[in-house]
């Protein structure tokens, strides 16, 4: 395990984290550094974010000491607009959602996980935001959000975003990085314009190989010349119909931590492709080599490897589609239950559909087919449900396994890889019937 995980506090939730180390919380959420005189100099994003969180402008913000926890936070969730998330890391902010809070067919914004690689930008003003499309295009362009709405068809789609590292916590030997369990996945309604339409208007030159995405967030070092993350897509993938440049999340402005006011949403591929706080898409004639595109980031070995095996850097390949997976969202793990249980959840497989979900309540000896909905659109997860009758009092496990349109079924055990990506092993939920 990296040092980071041993030394950093692991509070159960955001409120606890603020209570425990307000100065660190200030730094993580508001970018506010404490000074000798204990004044925090809250400005820019810090001020805007805190104002959003307390629900009003703060006229006397200059007087606020660093690390002061707004009293309003004591009675409300510390991250206004987020509900019940588990904080995994404070700097950068990373928070996941317990499976039972992901039960809705469409994930409410309050329950969409947060995965930041750096510090959110100072300015998230939708009115002055601009997006530039350049590189190998015939007509480079810069658009305001109003321009995007005017010039291109506006569409709303339910789209699944899953972090490439979701499930990393279960790797043995462990993999360094955020110890996500199950909840770095969500399927919200996103409204925006198609990346494809915007690229077509720009005129993609022949020879383009990859897109490169840039956001406005800053590197943890504070170095303005460094980006925390800049990933891209093969141009053929970028031209598919279900990739959006989104300005609304569930019918409202994007949450600040989910990339307000503009982001990419690339369903079915690692969440890292879905650049938040999107400022620029440039087209390149090489595979993009921005931060977190190279080395072993979001890459896996080009062959199955044994647990713990050393793999040479040149044997890693870029992760493209995410694998077939399911999540049980009801009942909650550890629940006390009656004998009749309605099992519910979602299943997804990047660039494919789910054809079947099976449920077991006897440790995999027998399976029953769950009722499975079609995706509401291409890129949405599929909801399933099954009525299970447990024979007598005792401890049970409910297991779910999905099969996709290519006939690939979720594995029971983890396919190990050094960086802990793509854990799609079957989800198990323990139940007690008394």
Kindly list the residues in this chain that would bind ligand MTE in the complex (CB under 6 A).
112-118, 161, 163, 215, 217, 228-229, 258-259, 271-272, 274-277
Taking the C-alpha atoms of residue 158 and residue 190, their distance in angstroms, rounded to an integer, is 6
CA–chain centroid gap for 200, Å, is: 27
- Among 136, 163, 246, 328, the residue binding Mo ion under the rule CB under 5 A is 163
List the one residue from 188, 189, 230, 272 that touches Mo ion (CB under 5 A).
Answer: 272
Looking at 35-43, 161-169, 402-410, 426-434, which segment touches Mo ion (CB under 5 A)? Answer: 161-169
Burial 333-361 (b: 16+ CB within 10 A, else e): beeebeeebebbbbbbbbbbbbbbbbbbb
Whichever of 275 and 403 has its CB closer to ligand MTE, that residue is 275
Q: Smallest distance from the beta carbon of 269 to ligand MTE, in angstroms?
A: 10
Q: Closest approach of Cβ 407 to ligand MTE, in Å?
A: 28
**With respect to ligand MTE, which residue has the nearer C-beta, 323 or 331?**
323
Q: Which residue has the tokens 């994930």?
A: 107
> Phi and psi dihedrals of 274, rounded to 5?
-90, 75
Strands (DSSP E) contained in 56-209 are 86-89, 94-96, 114-115, 130-135, 141-144, 154-162, 185-194
Question: Could you say which of Mo ion, ligand MTE, none residue 168 binds, taking C-beta under 5 to 8 angstroms by partner kind?
Answer: none
Give me the residue whose beta carbon is nearest to Mo ion.
163
Q: Least distance from C-beta 105 to ligand MTE, angstroms?
A: 18
Shortest CB 177 distance to ligand MTE, Å: 10
Comparison of 167 and 345: residue with beta carbon closer to Mo ion = 167
CB of 229 to ligand MTE, least distance (A): 5
Q: What share of the chain is helix, strand, coil (3-state, %, to 5)?
A: 20, 30, 50
Q: How far apart, in whole angstroms, are the C-alpha atoms of residue 143 and residue 134? A: 12
Rounded Cα distance between 358 and 430, Å, is 17
**From the list ligand MTE, Mo ion, none, partner contacted by residue 229 (C-beta under 5 to 8 A by kind):** ligand MTE
User: How near is the Cβ of 206 to ligand MTE at its closest, in Å?
Assistant: 29
121 binds, among ligand MTE, Mo ion, none (CB under 5 to 8 A by kind): none
CB 200 within 8 A of CB 190: no
**Which residue's CB is nearer to Mo ion, number 228 or number 364?**
228
Residue pair 380/160 in contact (Cβ under 8 Å)? The answer is yes
Of 40 and 99, CB closest to ligand MTE = 99
Phi, psi of 199 (to 5 degrees): -70, -40
In this complex, which beta carbon is closest to Mo ion, that of residue 115 or of residue 237?
A: 115
CB under 5 A: which stretch of 45-53, 127-135, 163-171, 209-217 binds Mo ion? Answer: 163-171
Q: Which does 112 bind (CB under 5 to 8 A by kind): ligand MTE, Mo ion, none?
A: ligand MTE
Picked from Mo ion, ligand MTE, none, the partner binding residue 90 (CB below 5 to 8 A depending on kind) is none
Q: What minimum distance in Å lies between the beta carbon of 298 and ligand MTE?
A: 8
CA 78, CA 97: separation in Å to the nearest integer? 15
Select from Mo ion, ligand MTE, none the partner in contact with residue 277, using the beta carbon and a kind-dependent cut-off of 5 to 8 Å.
ligand MTE
Pure H helices in 9-63: 14-20, 22-25, 44-54
Residues 86-115 that bind Mo ion (CB under 5 A): 115
- Rounded distance, CA 323 to CA 119, Å? 29
Rg of the chain (C-alpha set): 22
Looking at 118, 256, 271, 418, which residue binds Mo ion (CB under 5 A)?
A: 271
Measured from the CB atom, is 113 or 399 closer to ligand MTE? 113
In this structure, what token pair is assigned to residue 340? 């009749």
Q: Which is nearer to ligand MTE, 228 or 411 (CB)?
A: 228
Q: What are phi and psi of 297, to 5 degrees?
A: -65, 130
CA nearest neighbour of 95 among 268, 255, 319: 255
Judged by CB under 5 A, the stretch of 93-101, 121-129, 266-274, 301-309 that binds Mo ion is 266-274
> Which parts of this chain interact with Mo ion (CB under 5 A)?
115, 163, 271-272
């Amino acid at each position: 395990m990296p040092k980071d995980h041993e030394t950093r506090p692991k509070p159960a939730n955001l409120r606890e984290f603020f209570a425990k180390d307000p100065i660190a919380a200030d730094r993580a959420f508001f970018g506010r550094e404490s000074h000798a005189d204990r004044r925090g100099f809250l400005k820019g994003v810090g001020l805007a974010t805190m104002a959003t969180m307390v629900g009003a402008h703060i006229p006397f913000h200059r007087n606020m000491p660093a690390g002061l926890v707004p009293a309003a936070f004591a009675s409300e969730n510390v991250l206004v607009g987020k509900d019940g998330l588990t904080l995994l890391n404070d700097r950068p902010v990373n928070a996941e959602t317990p499976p039972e809070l992901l039960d809705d067919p469409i994930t409410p914004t309050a329950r969409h996980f947060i995965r930041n690689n750096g510090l959110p930008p100072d300015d998230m003003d939708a009115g002055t935001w601009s997006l530039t499309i350049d590189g190998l295009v015939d007509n480079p362009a810069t658009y305001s959000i109003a321009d995007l709405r005017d010039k291109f068809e506006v569409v709303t789609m339910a789209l699944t975003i899953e972090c490439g590292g979701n499930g990393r916590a279960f790797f043995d030997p462990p993999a360094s990085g955020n110890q996500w369990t199950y909840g770095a996945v969500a399927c919200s309604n996103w409204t925006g314009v198609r990346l494809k339409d915007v690229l077509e208007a720009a005129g993609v030159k022949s020879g383009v190989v990859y897109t490169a995405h840039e956001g406005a967030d800053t590197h943890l070092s504070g170095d303005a010349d460094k980006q925390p993350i800049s990933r891209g897509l093969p141009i053929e993938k970028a031209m598919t119909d279900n990739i959006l440049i989104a300005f609304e999340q569930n019918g409202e402005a994007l949450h600040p931590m989910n990339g307000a006011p503009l982001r990419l949403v690339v369903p079915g591929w690692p969440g890292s492709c879905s650049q938040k706080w999107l400022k620029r898409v440039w087209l390149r004639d090489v595979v993009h080599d921005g931060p977190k595109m190279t080395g072993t980031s979001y890459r896996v070995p080009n062959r199955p490897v044994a647990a713990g095996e050393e793999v040479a850097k040149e044997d890693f390949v870029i992760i493209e589609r995410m694998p077939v997976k399911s999540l049980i969202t009801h009942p909650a793990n550890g629940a006390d239950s009656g004998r009749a249980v309605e099992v519910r959840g979602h299943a997804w497989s990047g660039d494919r559909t789910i054809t079947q979900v099976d449920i077991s309540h006897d440790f995999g000896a027998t399976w029953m087919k769950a009722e499975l909905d079609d995706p509401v659109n291409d890129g949405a997860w599929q909801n399933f449900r099954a009525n299970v009758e447990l024979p007598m009092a005792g401890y049970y496990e409910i297991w779910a396994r999905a099969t996709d349109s290519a006939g690939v079924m979720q594995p029971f055990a983890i396919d190990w890889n050094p960086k802990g990506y793509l854990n799609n092993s079957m989800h198990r939920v323990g139940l007690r019937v008394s």
